[in-house]
Chain A
Amino acid sequence: MSTGTRPYYVPVGKEELVFNAAYRQGLSILLKGPTGCGKTRFVEAMAFDLDRPLVTVACHDDLTTADLVGRFLLHGGDTSWVDGPLTRAVREGSICYLDEIVEARQDTTVVLHPLADHRRQMPIDRLGVTLEAAPGFGLVVSYNPGYQSVLKDLKDSTRQRMVAIELDFPPADVEEKVVAHEAGVDAGTAAQLVRLGQAIRQLETAGLREVASTRVLIAAARLVTEGLNLHDAARAAVAGPLTDDPLITAGLHEMIDAYLVEPGGPPPVR
């Protein structure tokens, strides 16, 4: 809730406007964007602005309907019902955020349909009741369209119940600000890491499944804050997580050596 400070998020387009408008109209929101571009942080910031509690569910491929809605457990000779995170959000009027929704099984996402359209209801067949969503309830799902391990797409019937907001890696100047703020490094270091990240993003067709996200750049910068030098930090936080392939790792190390200058920043333009 609104105690504490607002999670740091710099808007790069109209995403905040669209989010607020959709939330006020009771529409569900679909966030699209590559891994580590700030989808989760964006939702946190919006929940702070709207002063609603945020319930986050990280979806995985064994996530069942019962994991979202709730289930009966046995206590001695009796059964007792335990709400799942989605049911809790519906009852309390929280914002429910389903991260990486396509990871969940398709039969699971169908439970969202009556919630995501004009009905805003959640039938719980195990209890034989239908819950009306409390005022303030909002449904936000995110997914990564280019995600290579995705074996299935989102169902069209699910997609069409949502308002889509497309996010991407921020432009270089914004990303430098974000890296500097999140990790507490100076602007020169942030600029160097961002340039490396931008260069790696050119490699999408050259053998990398995923490119360097804002998240890994921040991780590298945080290692620098702890006293590591730039090259070691980038090797550990950027090259290592991106690939296991020895050839590509060697190539990334060459890129790190080529793009990062120790210390003080890049040479001046002649």
Chain B
Amino acid sequence: MVRSAGNPARLALVASAVAGRPVQVAAAGTGALAWTDGATVFVDTSLSTGDQICALAVQAALLGAGSLEPEVLRPLGRRPSLARRYLAVEGQRVLARRRDLLPPAVWLLLDGTAAGRSSSPAESLAVALSRAAVGEPPELFGVIGPRRVVVAPGPPGDAGASRHVPWRSRGTQPARLEEEEGADVVARDLFSSPVGGGGGLGRVLKKMFGDGRSSASGPPGADSPTRLSRRAAGVARSVTVSSAVAAVPGDTTGWKPVGLQYPEWDANRGCYRPDWCTVIETDPPPAGVPLALPDTHRLRQALARLGTELERRHRQLQGDDVDVDAAVEARVQALAESTPDEAVYIESVRQRRQLSVLVLLDVSGSAGLPSASGAPVHEHQRAAAAALAVTLAGSGDRVALYSFRSQGRSAVHVLPVKRFADDMDALVLARLGGLVPGAYTRLGAAVRHSAAVIERDGGTARRLLVVLSDGLAYDHGYESAYGEADARRALAEARRQGIGCMCVSVGAGTDAETLRRVFGTSAYASIPDGEHLPAVVGPLVRSALRSAELRRRAWQRRARTAERHFIERRTA
């Protein structure tokens, strides 16, 4: 995606360096002047690289210096010629201010005398409003489009700050400054990025992943490759079949869905409905604007020490202390004229924890609802998922990150943001950034599939499933008590396989009683935002792993007893 030489996203680091905060870069139409929406700078890719750098450096410097704050832009809204005068004065000011951090090519744009006219955005505005002679800004300065700057991009380091907010694609539009229709900037809006959420491709993707009935569901039984799940639980036999999916018109992502069937617990009848749900594991979701790398310092502190006890190992070739028993034996052996064993030390080593974690992220429509703090629940959950995945991967654990949503029992979509084998890199954060909430929550099937994935790909003794959800299990024929019972059942099944389950609801207003009914006896916590995650995550993980271990042993014991009884009966 962003690897081709002509792709402007490669220049995002240059823009971020000039701005001093994360800034994205995207393509503007040919011939268009550079502009920014407050998070992304759009440049004309037909320019030479040097000119592209100059154009984006000016816009990035404006962003970094706070020149595009709403109170400054408000008077410019309806007056394009004033906006140009402001750009000429303020552009010179910010370039001079960041001079030592600019690429040398940009220095050619600097005009030493013009830069001295102002020392703040407000002063630049005053100069622009005055009758003083101000030359036209150079072409490479681009244009300020007040109408298109999203208000309050947020402070540096804020996860929201680095995100491009494609306003046309959002349900709740961010406040925007008004600008007269027909002003010169409007014409250039034709050239806005085709790949952003508001562009052509973005709308197609939105249609595919967003609210409303998904067309990417299909009946099982067609001729895609067949796989068998290896679930160990003694519940209904899980048969795997394939399913074909009708092609989506204009589909450019190349879906290759594989349908896997899972049972569902029918609380009304008190039994399983075999092969009831079809889980379709899609290709990884398309990349969006990457999330900022989360600050995981506190989370690391909370998670670092779990499962890494010191162990004293006897009879080692090296170590802190002499192992007296071994030393005496070695001495006896030497006196008896046989070759003594040289491993006579005690070494204390810290055990590596053998842990694989699958983070399951709920991207159903209910996650799009606003949280108490205003931002959608989805953004809180997504940030928490990123923080957990980055932290655990950084601690050397095996990590996978999946998201899910459903459209009835035949179409439970599981989107692999990061499989166990994938690297934890910027692409994963970009895929997370591209997730848009939509559709419903058939939690049970998603949990069963996740448990099967950990079982198949985890490859470690300790396994952990982290569910990030608002706890509203709801789908067609999956209402209130029925859905809650199935979700609870699915989590219990996973625990019986020895997979620790912990559930975290971030920012959602779901009441404690509902959470208890959905998550059952799994370790769960409800926190208002990601800031509280480090405080709860340590005890949650510890409790989840411990209870899974106990249940697995108990289950194994019961299975062995049953087997013994069976053999005894047969022999008797």
Tell me the A residues contacting B by CB distance below 8 Å. Answer: 61-62, 64-67, 71-72, 74, 76-77, 79, 105, 107, 126, 148-153, 172, 192, 195, 198-200, 202-203, 205-209, 244-248, 250-255, 257-259, 261, 266-267, 269-270
Closest to A146 in B: B297
Pick the interface stretch among B108-116, B235-243, B448-456.
B108-116
In the complex, how many angstroms separate the beta carbon of A79 from the nearest chain B beta carbon? Answer: 6
Which one of A172, A195, A198 has the greatest number of beta carbons of chain B within 10 Å? A195
Q: For residues 1 through 51 of chain B, which have their beta carbon under 8 Å from a beta carbon of chain A?
A: 2-3, 10-14, 16-22, 49
| CB–CB B322/A247 < 8 A | no
Contact B2 A247 (CB under 8 A): yes
Partner of B16, one of A66, A71, A195, A202: A202
- 8 smallest beta-carbon distances between A and B, as pairs: A251-B13, A151-B304, A66-B320, A258-B103, A266-B104, A199-B17, A247-B426, A206-B16
Assuming A152-B304, A205-B157, A259-B104, is B292 touching A66 (CB within 8 A)? no
**Which of chain A's residues have a CB closer than 8 A to the CB of B296?**
148
CB distance from A25 to the nearest CB of B (A): 33
* Contact indicator B292/A202 (Cβ below 8 Å): no
Given A62-B350, A206-B292, A250-B3, are A195 and B112 neighbors across the interface (CB < 8 Å)? no
Determine whether B117 belongs to the interface, using a CB cutoff of 8 Å to chain A.
Answer: no
Are B100 and A198 touching (Cβ within 8 A)? yes
CA distance A64 to B394 in the complex (A): 23
Pick the residue among B101, B304, B425 that contacts A247 (CB under 8 A).
B425
Chain B neighbourhood of A153, CB < 8 A:
301
Complex Cα gap A209–B290 (Å): 15
Give every chain B residue within 8 A of A192 (Cβ-Cβ).
104
Contact B426 A203 (CB under 8 A): no
Structural contact, B110 and A150, CB atoms closer than 8 A: no
The reply to whether the CB of B539 lies closer than 8 angstroms to some CB of chain A is no
Contact across chains for B101 and A74 when beta carbons are under 8 A apart: no
Name B's A-contacting residues (CB within 8 A).
2-3, 10-14, 16-22, 49, 53, 100-101, 103-105, 107-108, 110-112, 156-157, 162, 290, 292-293, 296-297, 300-301, 304-305, 310, 319-322, 327, 330-331, 334, 344, 348-350, 394-395, 423, 425-427, 429-430
Q: Using Cβ atoms and an 8 Å threshold, which residues of chain B touch A247?
A: 2-3, 425-427, 430
Residues of B contacting A254 with CB < 8 Å?
A: 10-11, 13-14
24 contacts between A and B (CB under 8 A): A62-B349, A66-B319, A72-B322, A74-B327, A148-B296, A148-B297, A149-B394, A150-B300, A151-B301, A199-B101, A200-B17, A202-B18, A202-B20, A205-B22, A206-B12, A206-B22, A246-B3, A247-B427, A255-B13, A257-B49, A259-B103, A267-B104, A267-B107, A270-B112
Question: Which of the listed residues A64, A152, A172 has the most CB atoms from chain B within 10 Å of its own CB?
Answer: A64
Contact of A206 among B107, B162, B301, B331 (CB under 8 A): B162
| Interface secondary structure of B, over-half rule | helix
- Contact present for A77 and B107 (CB under 8 Å): no
Closest to A192 in B: B104
| B395: chain A residues within 8 A (beta carbon) | 151
Q: Which A residues are CB-close (under 8 A) to B425? A: 244-247
Question: Across the interface, do A74 and B322 meet the contact criterion of CB distance under 8 Å?
Answer: yes
Cα distance A245–B3 in the bound complex, in angstroms: 12
Min CB gap A140→B, angstroms = 24
Question: Roughly how many angstroms separate A8 CA and B377 CA in the complex, as a whole number?
Answer: 54
How far apart sit A64 and B348, CA to CA, in the bound complex (Å)? 8
Residue with the highest number of chain B CB atoms closer than 10 Å, among A61, A126, A206, A208: A206
**Option from B103, B110, B304, B322 in Cβ contact (under 8 Å) with A79:** B322
Residues from chain A with Cβ under 8 Å of B350 in the complex: 61-62, 105
